[in-house]
Protein backbone atom coordinates (compact mmCIF):
# COMPACT_ATOMS: atom_id res chain seq x y z
CA UNK A 1 0.00 0.00 0.00
CA UNK A 2 1.28 3.45 -0.87
CA UNK A 3 1.48 6.27 1.65
CA UNK A 4 0.92 9.89 0.71
CA UNK A 5 1.94 12.81 2.89
CA UNK A 6 -0.53 15.47 3.95
CA UNK A 7 1.03 18.40 5.74
CA UNK A 8 -0.88 19.46 8.86
CA UNK A 9 -0.64 23.09 9.87
CA UNK A 10 1.41 24.09 12.90
CA UNK A 11 -1.73 25.44 14.61
CA UNK A 12 -3.55 22.12 14.15
CA UNK A 13 -0.59 20.24 15.56
CA UNK A 14 -0.50 22.46 18.65
CA UNK A 15 -4.20 21.89 19.25
CA UNK A 16 -3.70 18.13 19.16
CA UNK A 17 -0.38 18.01 20.96
CA UNK A 18 0.06 15.29 23.58
CA UNK A 19 2.21 15.69 26.74
CA UNK A 20 5.75 14.34 26.44
CA UNK A 21 7.91 12.46 28.89
CA UNK A 22 6.79 8.84 29.09
CA UNK A 23 9.65 7.75 26.83
CA UNK A 24 12.34 9.81 28.55
CA UNK A 25 14.40 12.67 27.18
CA UNK A 26 17.24 10.80 25.42
CA UNK A 27 17.33 8.02 22.85
CA UNK A 28 19.99 6.23 20.82
CA UNK A 29 19.39 5.02 17.28
CA UNK A 30 21.23 3.03 14.67
CA UNK A 31 20.89 4.88 11.37
CA UNK A 32 21.50 2.49 8.46
CA UNK A 33 23.31 2.79 5.17
CA UNK A 34 21.18 2.61 2.05
CA UNK A 35 21.58 1.92 -1.66
CA UNK A 36 19.83 4.44 -3.89
CA UNK A 37 18.72 3.99 -7.50
CA UNK A 38 19.16 0.18 -7.57
CA UNK A 39 20.85 0.63 -10.95
CA UNK A 40 17.92 1.62 -13.18
CA UNK A 41 15.69 3.49 -10.71
CA UNK A 42 17.40 6.89 -10.55
CA UNK A 43 15.83 8.89 -7.68
CA UNK A 44 12.84 6.51 -7.42
CA UNK A 45 14.16 3.24 -5.91
CA UNK A 46 16.12 2.63 -2.72
CA UNK A 47 17.13 -0.24 -0.43
CA UNK A 48 18.00 -0.28 3.29
CA UNK A 49 21.05 -2.23 4.55
CA UNK A 50 21.74 -3.94 7.87
CA UNK A 51 25.37 -2.72 7.82
CA UNK A 52 27.03 -0.26 8.25
CA UNK A 53 25.22 2.10 10.64
CA UNK A 54 25.77 5.49 12.25
CA UNK A 55 25.11 5.66 15.99
CA UNK A 56 23.18 8.76 17.04
CA UNK A 57 22.00 10.09 20.39
CA UNK A 58 19.07 12.50 20.39
CA UNK A 59 18.16 14.53 23.47
CA UNK A 60 14.93 16.46 23.97
CA UNK A 61 15.50 20.11 24.94
CA UNK A 62 13.13 22.52 26.67
CA UNK A 63 13.90 25.38 24.29
CA UNK A 64 13.50 25.89 20.56
CA UNK A 65 17.01 25.18 19.25
CA UNK A 66 19.04 22.45 17.58
CA UNK A 67 22.51 21.51 18.86
CA UNK A 68 24.87 19.31 16.80
CA UNK A 69 27.77 17.41 18.41
CA UNK A 70 30.35 15.28 16.58
CA UNK A 71 31.19 12.48 19.04
CA UNK A 72 34.31 11.21 17.28
CA UNK A 73 35.81 14.47 16.07
CA UNK A 74 34.62 14.04 12.48
CA UNK A 75 34.45 17.52 10.91
CA UNK A 76 30.67 17.83 10.70
CA UNK A 77 29.04 21.26 10.22
CA UNK A 78 27.76 22.41 13.61
CA UNK A 79 25.39 25.01 12.19
CA UNK A 80 22.06 23.11 12.11
CA UNK A 81 21.03 24.72 8.83
CA UNK A 82 24.19 23.31 7.19
CA UNK A 83 24.09 19.87 8.82
CA UNK A 84 22.23 16.92 7.27
CA UNK A 85 20.83 15.92 10.67
CA UNK A 86 20.18 19.47 11.82
CA UNK A 87 18.27 20.85 8.84
CA UNK A 88 15.45 18.25 9.11
CA UNK A 89 15.07 18.96 12.83
CA UNK A 90 14.85 22.69 12.16
CA UNK A 91 11.87 21.94 9.91
CA UNK A 92 10.37 19.60 12.50
CA UNK A 93 10.48 22.04 15.41
CA UNK A 94 8.81 24.69 13.25
CA UNK A 95 5.69 22.49 13.49
CA UNK A 96 5.99 22.03 17.28
CA UNK A 97 5.37 24.30 20.29
CA UNK A 98 8.01 26.94 20.96
CA UNK A 99 9.63 25.11 23.90
CA UNK A 100 10.76 22.03 21.95
CA UNK A 101 14.28 21.46 20.59
CA UNK A 102 16.87 18.69 20.21
CA UNK A 103 20.55 17.98 20.81
CA UNK A 104 22.05 15.44 18.40
CA UNK A 105 25.32 13.60 19.02
CA UNK A 106 26.60 11.78 15.93
CA UNK A 107 29.03 8.85 15.86
CA UNK A 108 29.76 8.88 12.12
CA UNK A 109 30.51 5.41 10.74
CA UNK A 110 29.15 5.87 7.21
CA UNK A 111 31.69 8.00 5.41
CA UNK A 112 30.33 11.05 3.54
CA UNK A 113 30.82 10.72 -0.20
CA UNK A 114 30.78 6.91 -0.03
CA UNK A 115 27.58 6.45 -2.05
CA UNK A 116 25.79 4.41 0.63
CA UNK A 117 23.59 7.14 2.04
CA UNK A 118 25.75 8.91 4.63
CA UNK A 119 23.71 12.12 4.55
CA UNK A 120 20.44 10.19 4.52
CA UNK A 121 21.50 8.15 7.56
CA UNK A 122 22.06 11.34 9.54
CA UNK A 123 18.77 12.84 8.39
CA UNK A 124 16.67 9.70 8.88
CA UNK A 125 18.26 8.85 12.22
CA UNK A 126 17.66 12.35 13.55
CA UNK A 127 13.97 12.54 12.66
CA UNK A 128 13.13 8.97 13.73
CA UNK A 129 14.90 9.44 17.08
CA UNK A 130 13.29 12.84 17.64
CA UNK A 131 9.87 11.46 16.75
CA UNK A 132 10.32 8.62 19.24
CA UNK A 133 10.87 11.21 21.98
CA UNK A 134 7.69 12.92 20.76
CA UNK A 135 5.72 9.68 21.23
CA UNK A 136 5.53 9.12 17.45
CA UNK A 137 3.73 12.41 16.93
CA UNK A 138 4.57 12.56 13.21
CA UNK A 139 3.79 9.97 10.52
CA UNK A 140 6.43 8.22 8.43
CA UNK A 141 5.61 10.36 5.37
CA UNK A 142 6.07 13.43 7.58
CA UNK A 143 9.49 12.13 8.66
CA UNK A 144 10.52 11.63 5.03
CA UNK A 145 9.33 15.17 4.26
CA UNK A 146 11.51 16.58 7.05
CA UNK A 147 14.52 14.38 6.28
CA UNK A 148 14.66 15.44 2.64
CA UNK A 149 15.87 18.84 3.84
CA UNK A 150 19.05 17.04 4.92
CA UNK A 151 19.53 15.73 1.38
CA UNK A 152 19.07 19.24 0.06
CA UNK A 153 21.93 20.37 2.31
CA UNK A 154 24.13 17.55 0.98
CA UNK A 155 23.39 17.70 -2.74
CA UNK A 156 21.25 20.76 -3.39
CA UNK A 157 18.30 18.53 -4.31
CA UNK A 158 15.49 17.15 -2.13
CA UNK A 159 15.35 13.47 -3.08
CA UNK A 160 14.04 10.49 -1.09
CA UNK A 161 15.59 7.37 -2.60
CA UNK A 162 17.94 6.99 0.40
CA UNK A 163 15.67 8.65 2.97
CA UNK A 164 12.56 6.53 2.36
CA UNK A 165 14.18 3.09 2.77
CA UNK A 166 16.11 4.39 5.79
CA UNK A 167 12.82 5.29 7.50
CA UNK A 168 10.51 2.56 6.16
CA UNK A 169 13.08 -0.24 5.83
CA UNK A 170 13.27 -2.72 2.97
CA UNK A 171 12.93 -1.52 -0.61
CA UNK A 172 10.86 1.54 -1.45
CA UNK A 173 9.54 3.14 -4.60
CA UNK A 174 9.21 6.93 -4.54
CA UNK A 175 6.40 7.31 -7.04
CA UNK A 176 6.32 11.08 -6.59
CA UNK A 177 8.03 13.86 -4.65
CA UNK A 178 5.34 16.50 -5.32
CA UNK A 179 3.14 15.30 -3.72
CA UNK A 180 5.20 12.83 -1.72
CA UNK A 181 4.02 9.28 -2.50
CA UNK A 182 6.02 6.34 -1.13
CA UNK A 183 5.34 2.69 -1.99
CA UNK A 184 7.02 -0.01 0.15
CA UNK A 185 7.93 -3.04 -1.99
CA UNK A 186 8.22 -6.61 -0.74
CA UNK A 187 11.42 -8.39 -1.72
CA UNK A 188 13.23 -11.72 -1.43
CA UNK A 189 15.80 -12.23 1.32
CA UNK A 190 18.85 -11.33 -0.77
CA UNK A 191 22.46 -10.80 0.26
CA UNK A 192 24.23 -7.58 -0.61
CA UNK A 193 27.97 -7.22 -1.20
CA UNK A 194 29.44 -3.72 -1.30
CA UNK A 195 32.90 -2.46 -2.10
CA UNK A 196 33.78 1.13 -1.25
CA UNK A 197 36.94 2.26 -3.09
CA UNK A 198 38.57 4.90 -0.91
CA UNK A 199 37.87 7.84 -3.15
CA UNK A 200 35.10 10.39 -2.71
CA UNK A 201 32.41 11.14 -5.26
CA UNK A 202 30.25 14.05 -4.11
CA UNK A 203 26.57 13.63 -4.95
CA UNK A 204 26.35 17.21 -6.19
CA UNK A 205 29.31 16.64 -8.56
CA UNK A 206 27.91 13.31 -9.79
CA UNK A 207 24.63 15.01 -10.67
CA UNK A 208 26.32 17.78 -12.62
CA UNK A 209 27.88 15.38 -15.16
CA UNK A 210 24.58 13.77 -16.12
CA UNK A 211 23.08 14.33 -19.53
CA UNK A 212 20.27 16.89 -19.66
CA UNK A 213 18.44 15.09 -22.45
CA UNK A 214 17.72 11.38 -22.95
CA UNK A 215 16.93 9.54 -26.17
CA UNK A 216 13.42 8.12 -26.28
CA UNK A 217 14.71 4.62 -27.06
CA UNK A 218 16.89 4.76 -23.94
CA UNK A 219 14.02 6.03 -21.82
CA UNK A 220 11.79 3.18 -23.02
CA UNK A 221 14.44 0.61 -22.17
CA UNK A 222 14.96 2.17 -18.74
CA UNK A 223 11.23 2.19 -17.96
CA UNK A 224 11.08 -1.51 -18.85
CA UNK A 225 13.97 -2.28 -16.52
CA UNK A 226 12.41 -0.37 -13.61
CA UNK A 227 9.09 -2.12 -14.05
CA UNK A 228 10.85 -5.46 -14.42
CA UNK A 229 12.91 -4.93 -11.28
CA UNK A 230 9.87 -4.02 -9.18
CA UNK A 231 7.96 -7.00 -10.55
CA UNK A 232 10.94 -9.25 -9.88
CA UNK A 233 11.10 -8.18 -6.25
CA UNK A 234 7.37 -8.65 -5.69
CA UNK A 235 7.22 -12.02 -7.48
CA UNK A 236 10.48 -13.33 -5.98
CA UNK A 237 11.74 -13.88 -9.54
CA UNK A 238 15.54 -13.84 -9.25
CA UNK A 239 16.10 -14.20 -12.99
CA UNK A 240 13.89 -11.18 -13.70
CA UNK A 241 15.70 -9.17 -11.01
CA UNK A 242 19.02 -10.05 -12.60
CA UNK A 243 18.16 -9.06 -16.14
CA UNK A 244 16.43 -5.86 -14.98
CA UNK A 245 19.51 -4.56 -13.13
CA UNK A 246 20.62 -2.58 -16.17
CA UNK A 247 21.01 1.19 -16.53
CA UNK A 248 21.42 2.75 -19.97
CA UNK A 249 21.16 6.39 -18.85
CA UNK A 250 23.04 7.17 -15.60
CA UNK A 251 25.58 4.39 -15.09
CA UNK A 252 27.45 4.82 -18.41
CA UNK A 253 28.24 8.42 -17.39
CA UNK A 254 28.93 8.00 -13.68
CA UNK A 255 30.97 4.80 -14.00
CA UNK A 256 33.88 6.73 -15.51
CA UNK A 257 34.43 8.24 -12.04
CA UNK A 258 34.96 4.79 -10.45
CA UNK A 259 38.22 2.92 -11.15
CA UNK A 260 37.68 -0.76 -11.87
CA UNK A 261 33.90 -0.49 -12.18
CA UNK A 262 33.41 -2.41 -15.44
CA UNK A 263 35.70 -5.24 -14.31
CA UNK A 264 33.97 -5.52 -10.93
CA UNK A 265 30.52 -5.71 -12.47
CA UNK A 266 31.48 -8.26 -15.12
CA UNK A 267 33.47 -10.61 -12.88
CA UNK A 268 30.96 -10.50 -10.03
CA UNK A 269 28.17 -11.58 -12.37
CA UNK A 270 30.36 -14.38 -13.72
CA UNK A 271 30.93 -15.45 -10.10
CA UNK A 272 27.19 -15.80 -9.56
CA UNK A 273 25.83 -12.42 -8.49
CA UNK A 274 22.36 -11.60 -9.81
CA UNK A 275 23.62 -8.17 -10.80
CA UNK A 276 24.27 -4.75 -9.38
CA UNK A 277 25.96 -1.46 -10.12
CA UNK A 278 26.76 1.93 -8.66
CA UNK A 279 25.37 2.54 -5.20
CA UNK A 280 23.80 5.99 -5.28
CA UNK A 281 26.24 8.41 -6.87
CA UNK A 282 29.22 6.15 -6.10
CA UNK A 283 32.01 5.30 -5.66
CA UNK A 284 30.60 2.27 -3.81
CA UNK A 285 29.49 -0.66 -5.97
CA UNK A 286 26.83 -3.12 -4.80
CA UNK A 287 25.95 -6.59 -6.02
CA UNK A 288 22.94 -8.74 -5.11
CA UNK A 289 23.28 -12.49 -4.51
CA UNK A 290 20.81 -15.24 -3.72
CA UNK A 291 22.83 -16.71 -0.83
CA UNK A 292 25.64 -15.88 1.58
CA UNK A 293 28.16 -18.21 -0.06
CA UNK A 294 27.85 -16.38 -3.37
CA UNK A 295 27.95 -13.00 -1.65
CA UNK A 296 31.25 -13.88 0.03
CA UNK A 297 32.70 -15.13 -3.27
CA UNK A 298 31.66 -11.82 -4.84
CA UNK A 299 33.46 -9.99 -2.03
CA UNK A 300 36.63 -11.98 -2.81
CA UNK A 301 36.42 -10.92 -6.47
CA UNK A 302 36.03 -7.27 -5.46
CA UNK A 303 39.06 -7.48 -3.16
CA UNK A 304 41.21 -9.09 -5.84
CA UNK A 305 40.38 -6.38 -8.36
CA UNK A 306 41.15 -3.47 -6.04
CA UNK A 307 44.28 -5.15 -4.69
CA UNK A 308 45.45 -5.41 -8.31
CA UNK A 309 44.59 -1.76 -8.97
CA UNK A 310 46.36 -0.73 -5.75
CA UNK A 311 43.43 1.29 -4.44
CA UNK A 312 42.39 1.08 -0.78
CA UNK A 313 38.83 -0.11 -0.16
CA UNK A 314 36.29 -1.35 2.39
CA UNK A 315 33.88 -4.21 1.78
CA UNK A 316 30.63 -5.26 3.43
CA UNK A 317 28.58 -8.43 3.13
CA UNK A 318 25.14 -7.75 4.53
CA UNK A 319 21.41 -8.23 3.98
CA UNK A 320 18.34 -6.06 3.40
CA UNK A 321 17.26 -4.22 6.54
CA UNK A 322 13.48 -4.59 6.72
CA UNK A 323 12.86 -2.11 9.56
CA UNK A 324 14.98 0.99 8.85
CA UNK A 325 16.33 3.19 11.64
CA UNK A 326 16.46 1.17 14.86
CA UNK A 327 15.82 2.45 18.38
CA UNK A 328 18.50 0.83 20.57
CA UNK A 329 18.00 2.68 23.87
CA UNK A 330 14.88 4.54 24.85
> What CATH number is given to the structural domain containing 249?
3.30.70.890
Please tell me which residue, 105 or 14, carries the higher pLDDT value.
Answer: 105
Q: Note down the domain range covering 293.
A: 191-319
Residue 121 has pLDDT above 90, yes or no: yes
pLDDT tens column, 34-64: 999 999 999 999 999 999 999 999 999 999 9
The model's confidence at residue 6, banded by pLDDT at 50, 70 and 90, is: very low
Instruction: Report pLDDT for 206.
Output: 61
Q: Is residue 88 predicted with pLDDT exceeding 80?
A: yes
The pLDDT value given to residue 264: 98
Residues 60 and 176 in one domain: yes
Say whether 297 is catalytic: no
Q: Are residues 161 and 24 in the same domain?
A: yes
- CA 90 vs CA 61, 81, 130, 235, 255: distances in Å: 13, 7, 11, 41, 36
Task: Check 34, 84, 172, 203 and give the catalytic one.
Answer: 203
HSE-CB of 123 using CA atoms within 13 angstroms: 37
For every residue of 249-292, DSSP letters joined together read SSHHHHGGGSTTHHHHHHHHHHHT--EEEE-TTSS-EEEEESSH
Q: Are residues 13 and 147 in the same domain?
A: yes
> What mean pLDDT is predicted for residues 292-306?
98
User: Is 203 annotated in the active site?
Assistant: yes
Examine the domain organization and report whether 250 and 127 are in the same domain.
Answer: no
Interior/surface letters 163-192, b for 16+ CB within 10 angstroms, e for the rest: bbbbbbbbbbbbeebeebbbbbbebbebbb
Quick one: 125 and 140 in the same domain?
Answer: yes
Which residue among the candidates 151, 193, 271, 294 is catalytic per the annotation?
A: 151
CATH number of the domain where residue 24 is located: 3.30.230.10
- For the cut 70, the answer to whether the pLDDT of residue 18 exceeds it is no
pTM greater than 0.85: yes
Per-residue pLDDT reduced to its tens digit, 129-167: 999 999 999 999 999 999 999 999 988 889 999 999 999
Residue 134 and residue 74 in one domain: yes
What lies within 8 Å, CB to CB, of 177 at 6+ separation is: 148, 158, 159, 160
Question: Quick one: 53 and 138 in the same domain?
Answer: yes
Q: What is the reported pLDDT for 9?
A: 43
- Structural domain count, the chain: 2
pLDDT at 156: 86
pLDDT at 82 over 80: yes
Amino acid sequence: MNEQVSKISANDRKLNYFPLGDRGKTVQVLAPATVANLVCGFDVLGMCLNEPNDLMEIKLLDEKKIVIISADGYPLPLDPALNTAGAPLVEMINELPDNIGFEVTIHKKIKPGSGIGSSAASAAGAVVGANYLLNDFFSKPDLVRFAMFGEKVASGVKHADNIAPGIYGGITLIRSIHPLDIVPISSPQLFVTIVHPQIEVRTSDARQILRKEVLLKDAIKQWGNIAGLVAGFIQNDLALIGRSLEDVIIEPVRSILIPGFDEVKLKCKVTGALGGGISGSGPSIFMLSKDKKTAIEVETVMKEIYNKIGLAYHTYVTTINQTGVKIVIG
